[in-house]
Amino acid sequence: MAGQINKRLIQKEIFNNRNVKKIVRDLVQQEVEKEKALFRAEFESHPVTQELEDGENASNISNTLGGYGNLFSFLGFSRGTNPTTPVKILIQKILLDRNVQVSKNGFKIKVNIPSKDEFGAVTPLPWEGGRSWLLDVERGISGLGAFLYGRFTSSRSGSGIQSKYNYSNRVFRNVKYFSQMYNKFIKRLGVK
């Protein structure tokens, strides 16, 4: 006597099995953690990040200022601060949802990823509310012609001030930075 196998019923049993869901979630979690580590490593190794982390005495390794001064002083960060820390904290907060949902052809698991605007919100320019240094490094920042680099006791950073007048025709050089890394991270995860 021959019987028929109900493939859909078996598939439904497998997909709804708690142990199978846990295995799937664990595998996806490993992949998310691997990609987060890569994202953070890319961020930390970028010349803009390194220059900011080196503080007021950094060299302009990002070449955004044409070798004059450094981003930390130009952007007006306070001596002893690390403006990149909030970005690293948000990268760490990228998490996998606990729920594993069954879809038509497999599983769906939501990955909670802060938007670029959320990253922008935690990276304000110290002297101009509403603007993000993280995003503006790519778009451009005005005022380099009025930036004076040196030792200044009245300076937040200790090594740069902004004059009322332009003393040079220097122009800020935009660089590919956070958006490129963020978009690559999203693409590698296959997030829709």
Residue 68 has which token pair?
């004059």
Q: What DSSP character marks residue 192? A: -
32 located within any domain:
yes
17 located within any domain:
yes
Q: Share the mean pLDDT of the chain.
A: 86
121 located within any domain:
yes
Q: Which residues pair with 111 in a beta bridge?
A: 96
60 located within any domain:
yes
> Which domain does 184 fall in, by range?
7-189
1 located within any domain:
no
Between 119 and 18, the higher pLDDT residue: 119
Burial 44-63 (b: 16+ CB within 10 A, else e): eebbbbebbeebbebebebe
Q: Is 160 helix (H, G, I), strand (E, B) or coil?
A: strand
13 located within any domain:
yes
Burial class (CB in 10 A: 0-12, 13-18, 19+), 175: middle
Residue 30 has which token pair?
């490993």
pLDDT in tens, 14-60: 767 788 778 888 888 999 999 999 999 999 999 999 999 999 999 99
How far apart CA 34 and CA 28 sit, in angstroms, is 10
2 located within any domain:
no
| pLDDT confidence bin for 6, thresholds 50/70/90 | low
For residue 117, give the H/E element and its range: helix 116-121
Answer whether residue 66 shows pLDDT above 60: yes
**Total of domains in the chain:** 1
